[in-house]
Amino acid sequence: MADAASSHARKPDGATGVLVLADGTVLWGHGFGATGQAVGEVCFNTAMTGYQEVMTDPSYAAQIVTFTFPHIGNVGVNDEDLESRADGAVGCIVREDVTAPSNFRSRGTFGDWLASKGKIGLSGIDTRALTRRIRLSGAPNAVIAHDPEGRFDIPALVKRARDWPGLEGMDLAKLVSRSSGEEWEGGTWSLGKGYARSPRDARPHVVAMDFGAKDNIFRNLVHAGARVSVVPANTSLEAILAQNPDGVFLSNGPGDPAATGEYVVPVIKGLLDRDLPIFGICLGHQMLAIAAGAKTTKMNQGHRGANHPVKRLEDGVVEITSMNHGFAVDNNALPDTVEETHVSLFDGSNCGIAVKGKKAFGVQYHPEASPGPMDSFYLFERFVEMLK
């Protein structure tokens, strides 16, 4: 492999963007979106649609997303498809240059939208080769950079990538969680009408802990029949109980669950001691597992996409799910207090648990994302039924 200096010397004409890996590998391309540089972990997402939802999912904080589908950005952007106002991915890598939008719902171009959000895009990359590298060697730390003049200090970018500590041991939930509580008012979306308002009738009350939540989770809880109050990640047990919830929801989010769990797991244990119904998704699922005595591990490449098959162990039904996680519950070391309920058919990793003797369960995937059929919406209905 060539060193950083010789790679820099061979910069192709017209290159305005670059991805520099911590091992010194340099990948040249065309920059778009914001200018500057950003550091993060490079991952890949296999979904064919939903790039705007992906880029606004806070679970992608401190990550650079490689889209394996070659045509990204060609349907433009709009305000309705945002998943959160919090920070998500710091940048993205695509194969083809972004074309003009072709979609009646579009209200702007992907490149302009990325620039407005301070996110860097890089096109002209062999995303198949990069994805194979991640699958074989794990998700690398890297710097993505964009300069319209094509001026890059490659040795400095290599050093920044090498100096970045990586996601393991990093608590990112505190950076993307909302700073204050709120009553969730949004309902489900319909074409031509936008988002409905949440009904204000008497409903079971869910307090949702925000570790980097996607808004569609709250909409699905409302659709299933709940009233939702959202609280920050660092909310105390006493503050949650003061809201007199019928149940507590634990959201998705970025970073290492063990790190965030240092202040969240004691709260979850307190909720379990009081036999409150609990439902966790992704990071929330992982911290529920830790609270019940399980452990989590860093995955080699993670699972990110919209077509992941998951087997439900109670009856053998297979759900097609959306996933976005780089950590997983270790299903080789589950304590007697935890029952495994779902597993990935890709690699057998854990995708769901239930805490024995409690009304508490979690899934590793995203039932609110509904890739095609709404295979997993029953989980929201099951949780709300527990509250009655």
Give the residue numbers marked as catalytic: 282, 366, 368
Q: What gap in Å lies between CA 331 and CA 388, rounded to an integer?
A: 31
The stretches of 16-170 forming alpha helices (DSSP H) are 51-55, 110-117, 127-137, 154-163
Q: What gap in Å lies between CA 123 and CA 319, rounded to an integer?
A: 33
**Pairing outcome for strands 186-190 and 278-281:** unpaired
Q: What gap in Å lies between CA 37 and CA 147, rounded to an integer?
A: 9
259 CB burial (10 A radius; 0-12, 13-18, 19+): middle
Contact indicator for 292, 334 with CB cutoff of 8 Å: no
Helix, strand, coil distribution of the chain in percent, nearest 5 = 25, 30, 45
Q: What CA–CA distances, in Å, run from 225 to 117, 201, 229, 259?
A: 34, 10, 13, 33
When computed from its CA atoms, the radius of gyration of the chain, rounded to whole angstroms, is 21
Q: What gap in Å lies between CA 299 and CA 59, rounded to an integer?
A: 15
Q: Which of 76, 77, 72, 41 is nearest to 59 (CA)?
A: 41
Q: What gap in Å lies between CA 379 and CA 360, rounded to an integer?
A: 12
Contact indicator for 91, 72 with CB cutoff of 8 Å: no
Contact indicator for 28, 12 with CB cutoff of 8 Å: yes
Helix axes 215-223, 378-387, angle to 10 degrees: 60
